[in-house]
């Protein structure tokens, strides 16, 4: 079976199972989406949503977080891992937005990736989920699933993003990256499927008998 055929199977399954894809990170505006994505590193969306539930009603602009200062931000997000590094990033990126972008989140990859603590994946999420620009954010989960489904050779997330963009229509990217995340959480879990149990894995590879090892991002 070709990669293109497997991509068609994946798209068909995911569109059927997840016709709607709500954004998993709760946010009030594009700035708070950016903050939530930055907070989500090395933790779950559920944990981020719990932490921000009591923050965003009161603090939702760059000037709010600059005024709070790093120490107070730390206290607000202390329930999350790496909270000191994350509070530093949020404080500094808020400062940058005020100094260089009049408090607005920039609507392009170049300026987004110049913000403190914002990498390509975070920028991609903001561009796709915040601005509706066609992008394909690839995290470790999508990287793993793309390997299991034979859509990439799994060298790194950069290669995986290129492969997925090549295989899927541009108009599907924003929805598809969320569909893959939802499917992975529900059916193709890291320590349960191993490429041999879920419907997509067994359809793409009907003769696969042994669990496969995926290359880490």
Could you give the residue numbers annotated as active site? Answer: 121, 139
Q: Which of 29, 91, 36 is nearest to 60 (CA)?
A: 29
- What letter would DSSP give residue 211? P
**Contact of 160 with 64, CB cutoff 8 Å:** no
Distance CA 88, CA 185 (A): 30
Residue 179: count other Cβ atoms within 10 Å of its Cβ: 20
Q: Which of 187, 129, 208 is nearest to 13 (CA)?
A: 187
**Contact of 138 with 161, CB cutoff 8 Å:** yes
Q: Which of 97, 110, 217 is nearest to 156 (CA)?
A: 217
CA 128 to centroid of chain Cα atoms: 10
Stated as kind and residue range, the H or E segment containing 141 is: helix 140-148
Using CB atoms within 10 Å of the CB of residue 191, give its burial: 0 to 12 exposed, 13 to 18 middle, 19+ buried.
exposed
- In degrees and rounded to multiples of 5, residue 19 shows phi and psi of -65, -25
């Amino acid at each position: 079976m070709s990669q293109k055929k497997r991509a068609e199977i994946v798209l068909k399954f995911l569109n059927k199972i997840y016709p709607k894809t709500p954004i998993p990170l709760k946010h009030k505006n594009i700035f708070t989406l950016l903050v939530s994505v930055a907070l989500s590193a090395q933790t779950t969306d559920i944990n981020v949503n719990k932490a921000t539930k009591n923050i965003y009603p009161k603090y939702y602009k760059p000037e709010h977080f600059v005024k709070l200062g790093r120490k107070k931000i730390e206290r607000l997000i202390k329930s999350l891992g790496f909270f000191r590094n994350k509070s530093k990033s949020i404080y500094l990126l808020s400062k940058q937005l005020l100094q260089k972008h009049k408090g607005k989140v920039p609507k392009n990859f170049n300026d987004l990736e110049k913000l403190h603590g914002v990498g390509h994946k975070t920028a991609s999420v903001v561009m796709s989920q915040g601005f509706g620009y066609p992008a394909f954010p690839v995290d470790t989960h999508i990287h793993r699933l793309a390997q299991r489904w034979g859509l990439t050779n799994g060298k790194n997330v950069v290669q995986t993003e290129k492969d997925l963009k090549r295989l899927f229509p541009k108009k599907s990217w924003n929805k598809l990256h969320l569909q893959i995340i939802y499917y992975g959480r529900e059916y193709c879990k890291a320590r349960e499927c191993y490429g041999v149990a879920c419907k997509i894995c067994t359809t793409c590879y009907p003769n696969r008998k042994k669990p496969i090892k995926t290359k880490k991002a």
